[in-house]
Amino acid sequence: MYAHYVPTLKSRSEKGCGQHSRCSTCRPRLGPATWLQSCAPRTKSLVSWKSPPAMFSMVPHWAEHKLACQTYNARTETVASKPSFRSACKRKQFCTIPVANFFESTYATGKPVR
């Protein structure tokens, strides 16, 4: 399954959180196993925002293809206990990705839902 997104405009990102990613060399890359690599604001707490470039992936480096296909969603209730996310959750490594649009293919038709 692939997820597709349209990055938010710089002006909207700055209005929403006061900062915008300054990374000009990173570009979104969508591919097998829902791998997403992008620049995004990274936060340590909800109080103070920091905006260094961040690398983001839904799939841990050690994952095999079968597991990679099952790591698309992280539920708040289980994110601290699932092997794919618990290490990052324990270290409070969260990433916010401002988007203008987000959609994924439907299971029935395989066509994007917008």
pLDDT score recorded for residue 87: 82
Reported pTM: 0.41
Strands 35-36 and 42-43: unpaired
What are the residues whose beta carbons fall under 8 Å from the beta carbon of 63, sequence distance 6 or more?
33, 71, 84
The mean per-residue pLDDT over the stretch 5-34 comes to 51
Q: What proportion of the chain, given as a percentage, has pLDDT over 90?
A: 0
pLDDT score recorded for residue 82: 79
Domain boundaries, the chain: 3-104
Determine the Cα–Cα distance for residues 34 and 55; give it in Å rounded to an integer: 14
Mean pLDDT computed over every residue of the chain: 61
Q: What is the 3-state secondary structure (H, E, C) of 12-47?
A: HHHHHHCCCCCCCCCCCCEEHHHEECCCCCEECCCC
The answer to which of 18-22, 27-31, 69-73, 104-108 has the lowest mean pLDDT is 27-31
pLDDT score recorded for residue 91: 83
pLDDT score recorded for residue 89: 82
CA-based nearest residue to 50, from 22, 90, 29 = 22
CA-based nearest residue to 48, from 76, 14, 19, 24 = 19
Tell me the pLDDT band of 35, cut-offs 50, 70 and 90: very low
Model pLDDT for residues 40-86, shown as the tens digit of each residue = 444 455 555 555 666 656 666 666 766 666 665 667 788 888 777 78
Which run of H or E residues covers position 65?
Answer: helix 65-68
